[in-house]
Structure 1
Amino acid sequence: MTRSQQVTTQSARAAVVLAAGHDEQSRALLTHPLGDSTVVELALVNVRKVIPADRIVVVISPDETEIPGLLGDDLTYVTQLSPRGTGDAALAARTAIGHALGDQAGDAAVLVTYADTPLLRAQSLRGLLTRHTLTGADLSLLTAVVENPEPGYGRIERTTDHAISAILEQEDRTATEGRLTEVNVGAYVAAPGLLFSQIEALAAEGEHRLTEVARRVIGADRKISSYRIYDTDEVRGVNSEDELAEAADVVLKRLFIPKKNTDTKIVFGTGGWRAVIGEGYTLANVRRLCQAVANEVVRQGLETNGVVIGGDRRFLSRESAEAAAEVFAGNNIPVTLLPDDVPTPLVTFAAPYLDAAYGIIITSSHNPPEWNGMKVFRRDGSLPLDEETDRYQDEANALSVDDVITLDIDLARRTGMITDRVLTEPYVDAIEKIVDVESVRGSDLRVIVDPMYGTSQGTLGTILNDMRVRAEFIHAAHNPLFGGIAPAPDLQRLSTLISMIESGGGRYDLGMATDGDSDRIGIVDETGEYISSNDLLLLLYWYLHEVRGEKGGVVRNLATTHLLDRLAAHFGEESFECRVGFKHVTAGMDKIGAVLGGESSGGLTIRGWILGKDGIFACALVVEMLARTGKRISELREMIYEITGRLYTLEAGVPATPEMRIAVPRRLEAEPLTHIGEYPVVSVSHLDGTKILLENDNWALLRFSGTEPVLRMFVEADSPEKATELLDWLKTFVTAGI
């Protein structure tokens, strides 16, 4: 390998970007908005990722003033005096490229690309440059295989050993050659001496097209290499209003493509920051996010309040909690570091209990085992609202690893900046002050509990023992793979719990489950029937209002049953609908003074308890309800149905493809719904997603998840058949034409 074939970020490279256009319309399109930028800016964003700014030369027309204003003064601008062709435009950059490269020009590689190809990815340009260097080619070009390519694209002809033998333009192709599908995208790399000498030689013959340079080099039997791109969207240029509209769709679609290991951005969803371990979730990102939160602590003047940090049972949770502690300690913010296996609700409780500036838990809740993440709780235990989490994530993403301040954990412990502490006892004591432990003792209840390999068994086991409840735990071992499933306490994942109750012959009064970080609950009744979270909320609202005498309204998110509205109306109380995300539930509870707030996914809390969902507390409250009423879950449910009537809920999810994220909202906007099947639409809400309200409290909801690449569909109807019909209609609607 020669020195010139080494590929490093310091390789001698420069770029020529052709932005002069061939007429006034083409120049105007370059400065037209595209996404949140413009066509020319998007094109240069990708070039900047592979070529230093001081080695990028942009060729513009003589009277062009807008493009330099958009791109900035760190680039070099030269003018093409008259629009004689793309080769002539590239030749205008020769002197500037020579100055930029200096004495490195002999070993340099010059990339030539177009400003009207904003969809070319930086990875493709990097692939082309790297291939050119590694192969020692004289000329390298970017190609793509396109089904039914436009006639204007030059076709690539190859020999039997796959070497490029020709670029065939439209006027040169035979009918057989016209069926070739590999096209010349129009980005080239060559040494500056070869590139500009060939352009100059062709100009002397009256030829000014850049494509002819490539054809001439190929014809001279020089060494040619190519890099093929497989995303055919990259091939699209912007030379008309129609092509601009198509490019806008591609830009929008790309926003929703799940990022892999090349993307290190931190993005908060409805339940904190979550990402796949080893891709978005890294210790470096944990440190950057904690530095951003530490900066916020300092800005608020709350350093002496400190922070409390814990982690669940997932891979890297303990290491992440310690890394987080080192960052806060490095910023002179004292840390209370909790031990392994901490439930999320305990951290929610600990923040106000310790008057900490923030509580931080390392978890990704009910996500699959390969995920991890972080939840941040404010001083009062509530989740930050969107404008706050946007501020954290934006600052974190702007930080480099070198911006993070840390203090070694051993030194921090010796100096008292990090204090290890167990808060299980005060958390359990606080629950037992609200839940009527005495009323449960003597009830002789027997339950089976599935923590789903999560973090609830220590605290919940203590509470049930104090209640004298006979409890058996399954799936309680420390298993960061969670048995190979996502630890979500829903019907599909509680088969073992259900089968044990069904085969128990009446041995158990109740089955309970919590998710991976213990903030959600799942319930199975004494017969082995799974009780939906919607029905559980209904039971608890009735119990709190009628048995415990706690008056007040109820808050539900928009994907939760409207039977709560009926029960609230029966009580003469208010029911409040909010967006998905428990931070919106607790904000709604504060707004109307609600006694209960919850969501159909299993999260709930009550007035007077923490400002976050708590599966452990919910389990204790359900046990109290059975003991004080002396009734079984099935009996209580039928009794409440006598008040509210029945509604039947169904839900489903489909992978949220980028195309779907564009097509579904556009179709909803273009075709206002008047009916779902035969059922008339009463109104449509866009509070969070699209909720279609029908008669008699029936409804359907389409909502893209804030934590996973999934389009969720929910329906509620007055018969199981109608619910199935509504859900089938939604599935057909969202997948039509995709």
Structure 2
Amino acid sequence: MHKPNPNAAPSGGASAVVLAAGADDESRALLTSTLGDATVVELALANVRAVLPADRIVVVVAQGDTEIRALLGDDLTYVEQDAPLGTGHALTCARAAIPADTSALLVAYADTPLLRPESLRGLLNRHDLLGADLALLTAVVEKPLPYGRVTRDASGQITGIVERSDLTPSTDDALEINVGAYAAAPSTILAEVDALAGAGEHRLTVAVRRLIDDGAKVVTYKIVDTDEVQGINSRDELDAAADIVLRRLFMPRKNTDTHIVFGTGGWRAVIGEGYTLGNVRKLCQAIANEATRKGIDHLGVVIGGDRRFLSRESAEAAAEVFAGNNIPVTLLPDDVPTPLVTFAAPYLGAAYGIIITSSHNPPEWNGMKVFRADGSLPLDDETDRFQDEANALRAAEVITLDLDLARRAGVVVDRTLTEPYVDAIEEIIDIDAVRGSGLRVVVDPMYGTSQLTLGTILTDMRVRAEFIHATHNPLFGGVAPAPDLERLSALIQMIKNGDGRYDLGMATDGDSDRIGIVDETGEYISTNDLLLLLYWYLHEVRGEKGGVVRNIATTHLLDRLAAHFGEKSFECKVGFKHVIAGMEEIGAVLGGESSGGLTIRGWILGKDGIFACALVAEMLARTGKRISELREMIYEITGRLHTEEAGVPATPDMRIAVPRRLAAAPLTHVGAYPVVGIDHTDGTKILLENDNWALLRFSGTEPVLRMFVEADTPEKATELMDWLKGFVTA
């Protein structure tokens, strides 16, 4: 059930009457039908609640109704329409319940659930600013709809509302329609309704037409998004509205919508829009509340930030909130990698670790990742609690303590944990094996946070390392700091131009939890291949027995290699928290994702690009082989599979159409290749023969439909990808 919006401010002396009595049993049944994750009437009232507080809203229901009251809650005022005489009569039934100080009465219908709160605010605003007798909501549509048409004179003034039955050839072309929501002084609109009632007429629309005909000052607020016009008067209209609701779920949220929403790896948003210091404080208050409820608040939190805009200010704001809630804070200096915070939570025994970062997103983004006491990411049920509680908080409910005072009191302690983190890595990585190997590498931290920690480790290994893009640049050179083929051209070119001077190129993303590798020839090595190499190395050279975990979009060659070793392989959903859960389930030695994240058993419960780079250096030193040689050796065991990835903008219409087409006719073939199975665990994965597959998956963090294929030959991979592209754009 939709709860009242405590932040909704009254529009002066505005009140609302929502007509929810229905004309008959069928129309009342439609009002209580499910639409998305609520009912029609709940959605309609949620829009009004967003504009006016509950004590200014009157709902007119049918005589004896209990169902709508139960859905909407007891904080609204209800009146009954004793007979279904019409909408004007329904309004008069509400007369005594309208607050006496009402200067503008909003009249809305419960069967128009797709109106946006902004449209209702706009209607009230124009009524107030223009001193109108009546304001009505209109929309210009592209094709005729079963609504009254608005007519205007040459100057644009409204001259009438023509009902469908009265259309003439001249008015049939008028595509501005009367949507059916009004704003007027209560006395004005009720006087017209009363006058008509004496003549046996009870339709509210007729009262509006009389006001226009009598020369009242009538203004309009025009709706631009005509999806708002969709009413619910039949099952077909309910189905059409369901598609609109689904499309809206995937529309980018802008302007006034600043809700905190967690994705697969934390909360991320555009700076100045969803990402604000106010939202940082509210989210931290929600986490502080959770820690207090669980009785783990005395364990404290550890907080750090990366190199993005507002990261330092955000980390300090977060520290002030936890300090204000009597929760001890270890505040890390700026420019720390995400894996260091993942490590720090269990190292310090903290209740939570928090890093201000937006990972590999473009520079205009920032966000927050939260880690539990063991360093793992919270699962969905926990992050849902965080975001829901944070979004419900008002600024006045956030408790803070000035940072200087908190430091003087010892509630906030500044502490550097770089050395313990590096020491912990060097306890697992065979530093001595690398010394004397003569490895020469180029490192691209992509203006991120890995230079200090990774540089220290490479120095301890006696590896000759050159760093590029290592300065502090919150614009990241104008590109998103993601270590993939498209963004590592400078690293690739440097190795190619080095005339064999370098053995390896390494890269980490903006917060250093992902890895990118370039071999000695300047060829970019996909994470799929890197995972394959590292799994072989861990199992066969280091002797660490166990299975492997990969997400649904990662190579099946890992499964082949695990089968060769007599070990288990495990496929999970996208999101590293699912990789960690899978590793725990089968006792895996390695877990990773094709997007660049990996970890091993015995290290932190999260991905770590810095650790991964050190492990690759160890692998080359101990095997005495180059990346290209290791790949060919392992392909002799597993055979070859070739991958392709692509993405297309995911329009809201596509979000509906693609799953619908997949469900309409079960796939038997992808092109000429027979389908042997379909998996809907995370997106739609189409399984073909010989470990070939194709995956369609809508991103959880961006408006993108991602496509992945893996096939026996490059040509077949391209063929499968072309089929996917054709399917989604058909």
TM-score of the superposed pair, with normalisation by structure 2:
0.96
Distance 2:463 2:705 in 1: 41
Which residue is equivalent to 1:303?
Answer: 297
Distance 1:418 1:8 in 2: 37
Q: Is the contact made by 1:46 and 1:121 (CA closer than 8 Å) also made in structure 2?
A: yes
SS in 2 for 1:590: helix
Distance 2:28 2:290 in 1: 45
Q: Is the contact made by 1:273 and 1:375 (CA closer than 8 Å) also made in structure 2?
A: yes
Q: Displacement of 1:242 after TM fit?
A: 1.0
Residues 79-118 of structure 1: matches in 2 within 5 Å? Answer: 79-97=80-98, 100=99, 102=100, 104-105=101-102, 108-118=103-113
1:237-272 Cα offsets, whole Å, 9 max, x none, are 111111112112222222222212322322211101
Q: Displacement of 1:10 after TM fit?
A: 4.8
Distance 2:64 2:411 in 1: 62
Residues 201-240 of structure 1: matches in 2 within 5 Å? Answer: 201-240=195-234
1:258-295 Cα offsets, whole Å, 9 max, x none, are 21232232221110111111222111211121122222
Distance 1:167 1:350 in 2: 68
Which residue is equivalent to 1:332?
Answer: 326
Residues 408-487 of structure 1: matches in 2 within 5 Å? Answer: 408-487=402-481
SS in 1 for 2:555: coil
Q: Which amino acid aligns with 2:279?
A: N
Q: Displacement of 1:139 after TM fit?
A: 0.9
Q: Displacement of 1:679 after TM fit?
A: 0.9
Q: Is the contact made by 2:9 and 2:53 (CA closer than 8 Å) also made in structure 1?
A: no
Which residue is equivalent to 2:129?
Answer: 134
Which residue is equivalent to 2:29?
Answer: 28
Which residue is equivalent to 2:505?
Answer: 511
SS in 2 for 1:458: helix
Q: Choose which of 371, 383, 392 in structure 2 pairs with 1:389.
A: 383
SS in 2 for 1:14: strand
Distance 1:586 1:73 in 2: 45
Distance 2:160 2:209 in 1: 6
Q: Which amino acid aligns with 1:464?
A: L
SS in 2 for 1:125: helix
Q: Choose which of 281, 286, 289 in structure 2 pairs with 1:287.
A: 281
Distance 2:492 2:69 in 1: 67
Residues 355 and 51 from structure 1, CA distance in 2 versus in 1: closer, same or farther, beyond 3 angstroms? closer
* Structure 1: stretches of 5+ with no match in the other structure: 1-6
Residues 133-282 of structure 1: matches in 2 within 5 Å? Answer: 133-150=128-145, 152-282=146-276
Q: Which runs of 4+ in 1 moved over 6 A?
A: none
1:646 to 2:640 alignment = yes
Which residue is equivalent to 2:487?
Answer: 493
Which residue is equivalent to 2:59?
Answer: 58
Q: Is the contact made by 1:337 and 1:418 (CA closer than 8 Å) also made in structure 2?
A: yes
Residues 347-366 of structure 1: matches in 2 within 5 Å? Answer: 347-366=341-360
Which residue is equivalent to 1:540?
Answer: 534
Q: Is the contact made by 1:311 and 1:363 (CA closer than 8 Å) also made in structure 2?
A: yes
Which residue is equivalent to 1:553?
Answer: 547
SS in 2 for 1:156: strand
* Structure 2: stretches of 5+ with no match in the other structure: 1-7
Q: Is the contact made by 1:511 and 1:524 (CA closer than 8 Å) also made in structure 2?
A: yes
SS in 2 for 1:395: helix
Residues 433 and 14 from structure 1, CA distance in 2 versus in 1: closer, same or farther, beyond 3 angstroms? same
Q: Displacement of 1:37 after TM fit?
A: 2.1
Distance 1:457 1:696 in 2: 42
Q: Which amino acid aligns with 1:160?
A: A
1:313 to 2:307 alignment = yes
Residues 299 and 155 from structure 1, CA distance in 2 versus in 1: closer, same or farther, beyond 3 angstroms? same
Distance 2:31 2:257 in 1: 27
Q: Is the contact made by 1:311 and 1:341 (CA closer than 8 Å) also made in structure 2?
A: yes
1:615-641 Cα offsets, whole Å, 9 max, x none, are 011111111111222221111111111
Q: Which amino acid aligns with 1:712?
A: R
Q: Choose which of 562, 580, 594 in structure 2 pairs with 1:586.
A: 580
Q: Displacement of 1:589 after TM fit?
A: 1.5
1:402-426 Cα offsets, whole Å, 9 max, x none, are 2222111101111111111111111
Distance 2:579 2:263 in 1: 15
Q: Which amino acid aligns with 1:735?
A: T
SS in 1 for 2:113: coil
1:689-733 Cα offsets, whole Å, 9 max, x none, are 221111000011111222222221111000111111111222222
Q: Which range moved further: 255-264 or 680-689?
A: 255-264
Q: Choose which of 711, 716, 720 in structure 2 pairs with 1:717.
A: 711
Distance 2:627 2:171 in 1: 74
Which residue is equivalent to 2:45?
Answer: 44
1:76 to 2:70 alignment = no
Q: Is the contact made by 1:455 and 1:516 (CA closer than 8 Å) also made in structure 2?
A: yes
Q: Which range moved further: 609-618 or 8-17?
A: 8-17
Q: Is the contact made by 1:19 and 1:115 (CA closer than 8 Å) also made in structure 2?
A: yes
Q: Displacement of 1:575 after TM fit?
A: 1.2
1:619-674 Cα offsets, whole Å, 9 max, x none, are 11111111222221111111111111110011111222222222222322222221
Q: Which range moved further: 554-563 or 167-176?
A: 167-176
1:733 to 2:727 alignment = yes
Q: Displacement of 1:358 after TM fit?
A: 1.2
Distance 1:550 1:60 in 2: 69
Q: Which range moved further: 301-310 or 694-703?
A: 301-310
Q: Which range moved further: 240-249 or 83-92?
A: 83-92
SS in 1 for 2:292: helix
Q: Displacement of 1:606 after TM fit?
A: 1.1
Q: Which amino acid aligns with 2:524?
A: Y
Q: Is the contact made by 2:10 and 2:53 (CA closer than 8 Å) also made in structure 1?
A: no
Q: Which amino acid aligns with 1:602?
A: G
Distance 1:163 1:500 in 2: 69
Which residue is equivalent to 2:559?
Answer: 565
Q: Which amino acid aligns with 1:121?
A: R
1:401 to 2:395 alignment = yes
Q: Which amino acid aligns with 2:52?
A: I
Distance 1:717 1:274 in 2: 34
Q: Which range moved further: 375-384 or 397-406?
A: 397-406
TM-score of the superposed pair, with normalisation by structure 1:
0.95
Distance 1:490 1:630 in 2: 26
Q: Is the contact made by 1:261 and 1:278 (CA closer than 8 Å) also made in structure 2?
A: no
Residues 74 and 335 from structure 1, CA distance in 2 versus in 1: closer, same or farther, beyond 3 angstroms? closer
Distance 2:62 2:428 in 1: 75
SS in 1 for 2:172: helix
Q: Which amino acid aligns with 2:497?
A: S
Which residue is equivalent to 2:119?
Answer: 124
Q: Choose which of 606, 615, 625 in structure 1 pairs with 2:619.
A: 625
Distance 1:194 1:424 in 2: 71
Q: Is the contact made by 2:9 and 2:51 (CA closer than 8 Å) also made in structure 1?
A: no
Distance 1:523 1:541 in 2: 16
Residues 357 and 76 from structure 1, CA distance in 2 versus in 1: closer, same or farther, beyond 3 angstroms? closer
Which residue is equivalent to 2:3?
Answer: none
1:111-154 Cα offsets, whole Å, 9 max, x none, are 1111111111111101100011011111111011111122x311
Which residue is equivalent to 2:4?
Answer: none
Q: Is the contact made by 1:29 and 1:239 (CA closer than 8 Å) also made in structure 2?
A: yes
What RMSD over aligned residues (CA atoms) do the two structures have, in Å?
Answer: 1.6
1:506-564 Cα offsets, whole Å, 9 max, x none, are 22111111000000000111111110000011111111122222222111111110111
1:29-80 Cα offsets, whole Å, 9 max, x none, are 2222222222222111111222232222222332433222322333233333
Distance 1:718 1:70 in 2: 55
Distance 1:583 1:28 in 2: 43
Q: Which amino acid aligns with 2:105?
A: V
